[in-house]
Amino acid sequence: MIKILIPTPLRPFTDKLDTVEVSGATVGELLQNLTTKHAGLKQHLYAADGKLRSFVNVYVNDDDIRYLQKNETPVKDGDTVSIIPSVAGGAPTAVTREQDALPELSGDEIKRYSRHLIMPEVGVDGQRKLKAAKVLCIGAGGLGSPAAMYLAAAGVGTLGIVDFDVVDFSNLQRQLLHGTPDVGRPKLDSARDRLNALNPNVHIETYDAALSSENAMQLFAPYDVILDGTDNFPTRYLVNDACVLSGKPNAYGSIFRFEGQASVFATKDGPCYRCLYPEPPPPGLVPSCAEGGVFGVLPGIIGVIQATETIKLILGIGEPLIGRFMIYDALRMRFRELKLRKDADCPVCGTHPTVTTLIDYEQFCGVAPHQIEAAKAPATRGDALTSLELKAELDRGETIVVLDVREPQEYQINRIPGSVLIPLGDLPKRYVELDPSATIVSQCKSGMRSAKAQELLRSKGFTNVRNLTGGILGWIDQVDPSQPKY
Amino acid sequence: MAAIILRPAVDAAIRAHGRETFPHECCGALLGRDGEVHQSHGLPNTTEEGPRRRFLVRPDDYRGAEHRARETGLDLLGFYHSHPDHPARPSQYDLDHAWPSFSYVIVSILAGTDRLLTSWRLKEDRSAFDEEPVRITNSPDHPVTQS
């Protein structure tokens, strides 16, 4: 027989005894016999799945069985087995709500969510947590579309959407919240229609605004989880910092061409986006989706990962993507995972933060000065021209080399007649094909890459290179509307 | 339900501990007899999940509390903890981790000031807590110690 020491709170279930003697060869057998003898102990020692509850510690003499052989730990006469409580608790977290404050489900909702309700991991209580939850989607574009649709279908009670854009034909290849008849409508309107049709029980809040340092904290305040579906660095840093400062988890995703990333940032003890990337890349180094393109199904995968993580956070189930950075490659069809650590020196979430209020993120990411310079440059330095000016010079018969620095697949869609194609990436090798004294106008889609080409050519001794403001898009607007835009 | 009795010094010590650790949670053991808490003992909050919203008493500290109860001829009646900037109501997390027959005293600390103090007991089927009334009464011959 082996002695088991019973802690105070369990003694009402052992006839007030502080020691019970039972037989068994392993800890598992002992506990089995103990709970057979004193059946009232069972629900306090074991969870519904039959495993020992996490706050129940079992010691053989002075050793925790977690570090021995767990349930299989052998015991012999003379050993003392102790059941020792870990006492734990805490205030409600942002996501976990009080059970009794949760809203009830209607009959319709019980039918609608029945496939959730029959799973113990969700169940009625989990579905009520979803109904009580409030999620804010930043952007109703590629990532926001699938995320918002699945969150609405899953029964998240309140969905907020921040967006100020209008639906464009080029959105329809991936942004499933919006359909062909919606082109020209505000994205918020088509998003609301689509989500209401999916699930009228969901309360949709729309915010027709660009997220900014002025409005972010106020917009985030009523929400439990923020879902970052932004497509630019200033807003990404803004969302991250505002999440850290307001203590709200950030279900993060981003996409480019065939590759996507996802993680959960800014949870209480997890890393934030700045732990991974303290500083933004230099402006222009990482092209946007408008410049680099994006595989249409890619945001479907990444946005749904964000929705999955959001729902797990609300339910408090599974292993969240906290401290883990998921990278998905659609071409190779592979997921990779990097471990992330919270950085004690992180300027926002570290032990001695230097960023304690929201800052100017355009400036932080170096966007604003660049744009100001670009806006000033053409008039004063004479190194840029508009499409109308170019057209006039060409019409006068001047000899001008229009150098298109886009990719060949872009050149196939539209071009300025007579232009020469050398993609920007090839230019450092192929500039020798051009005459350094020729009158050159560099051109791309909207004027960013061609400005770099202009700089490069000048550094190689080219004397007369101007940049076409607004790129081919400006040309189509001002000169040749017959060509398609992309 | 029978009330839990706190000696005024116990009430004061719990509140002081909560103010002291704010904005983190404090925790400690309650020792006494027959529903009357004679002593409170502050314990280190060893949670690794963020002490603003969580507390954890290590098995060793738990054993220490039982040991102290035995030495002083008292019973371990339960534990207290604070809810910084949250109401003095048990959370789902409290419920998930609760032990039967213990009293769980919760003090709400709002912006550093102690407010409502409540006490709770787990229902036998673990489905929820029952609130037990708290009475503060004088018994000057039992001094309060706080480690």
Confidence of residue B140 (pLDDT cuts 50, 70, 90): very low
Residue A217 burial by Cβ neighbours in a 10 Å radius (0-12, 13-18, 19+): middle
Asked if residue A187 has pLDDT above 50, the reply is: yes
Q: What pLDDT is stored for residue A378 in this prediction?
A: 40
State the pLDDT at residue A285: 67
Q: What is the pLDDT of residues A189-216, one digit of tens each?
A: 999 999 999 999 999 999 999 999 999 9
Average the pLDDT over each of A9-18, A307-316, A369-378, B132-141 and give the range with the smallest value.
A369-378
- Segment B58-84 shows an average pLDDT of 92
pLDDT at A368: 53
What's the pLDDT at A324? 94
Q: What is the CATH number of the domain that holds B12?
A: 3.40.140.10
Instruction: Establish if B141 belongs to a structural domain.
Output: no
Catalytic residue list contains A444: yes
What average pLDDT does the segment B75-83 reach? 94
Q: Which residues of A are less than 8 Å from B125 in CB distance?
A: 43
d(CA A1, CA A80): 10
For B46-57, the pLDDT digits (tens) are 887 777 788 888
Same fold, A99-368 and A382-478: no
Q: Spell out which chain B residues touch chain A, with contact meaning CB-CB distance below 8 angstroms.
A: 25, 27, 47-50, 52-59, 62-63, 66, 69, 75-76, 79, 81, 83-86, 89-95, 97-102, 104, 125-126, 128
Pick A349 or A373 by higher pLDDT: A349
Inter-chain touch B50–A268, beta carbons under 8 Å: yes
Nearest CB to A90 within list B53, B89, B101: B53
* Cross-chain residue pair A84–B59, CB shorter than 8 Å: yes
Q: In total, how many domains does chain B have?
A: 1
pTM of the model: 0.54
Catalytic residue among A137, A243, A289, A349: A289
Rounded CA-CA distance A300/A145 in Å is 8
Alpha carbon distance B98, B128 (integer Å): 10
One-letter identity of residue A330 = A
Asked about A289 being catalytic, the answer comes back as yes
pLDDT digits (tens, 9 = 90+) for A86-120: 888 877 654 444 444 688 899 999 999 999 999 98
The CATH T-level fold of domain A2-85 is Ubiquitin-like (UB roll) (3.10.20)
- DSSP notation for A47-62: -TTSSBPTTEEEEETT
Report CA torsion sign: A171, A172, A175, A177: positive
Distance CA B85, CA B100 (A): 27
Q: Residue B110's domain spans which residues?
A: 4-136
Per-residue pLDDT reduced to its tens digit, A210-239: 999 999 999 999 999 999 999 888 999 999
CB contact under 8 A, B92 and A99: yes
Condensed to tens digits (0 to 9), the pLDDT of residues A268-296 reads 889 999 998 888 877 766 767 677 789 99
The upper half-sphere exposure of residue B58, i.e. CA atoms within 13 Å in the direction of its Cβ, equals: 10
Q: Is the ipTM of this complex over 0.90?
A: no
Averaged pLDDT for residues B107-121: 91
Range scoring the smallest mean pLDDT among A177-186, A457-466, B12-21: A457-466
Rounded to whole angstroms, the Cα distance separating A186 from A182 reads 8
A96–B25 C-beta distance less than 8 A: no
Domain covering A99-368, topology:
Rossmann fold (3.40.50)
Of A215-224, A335-344, A367-376, A451-460, which gets the smallest average pLDDT? A367-376
> C-alpha angle with apex A464: A463 to A466, nearest 5 degrees?
135
Interval A34-77: pLDDT, tens: 999 999 898 889 887 788 888 888 999 888 898 888 889 999 98
Q: Chain A interface residues facing chain B, Cβ-Cβ under 8 Å?
A: 7-13, 43-44, 55, 57, 59, 64, 82, 84-93, 96-100, 268-269
Instruction: Name every chain A residue with its beta carbon within 8 A of the beta carbon of B89.
Output: 98
Tens of pLDDT, residues A302-335: 999 999 999 999 999 989 999 999 999 999 999 9
Residue B24 lies in a domain: yes
Q: What is the pLDDT of residue A284?
A: 67
Give all strands (DSSP E) within A418-459, no chain letters: 420-421, 440-443
CA dihedral in degrees (A56, A74, A28, B29; nearest 10)?
A: -20
Q: Domain A382-478 in CATH: superfamily?
A: Rhodanese-like domain (3.40.250.10)
Average pLDDT taken over every residue of chain A: 89
Q: Is the pLDDT of residue B37 over 50?
A: yes
User: For chain A, which residues make up each domain, given as ranges?
Assistant: 2-85, 99-368, 382-478
Residue B105 belongs to some domain of the structure: yes
Residue B83 near residue B107 (C-beta atoms within 8 A): yes
B37: in domain: yes
For residue A429, the number of C-alpha atoms closer than 13 Å in the C-beta half-sphere is 3
Whether residue A85 and residue B76 make contact (CB cut-off 8 A), yes or no, is no
Cβ atoms B85, B113 nearer than 8 A: no
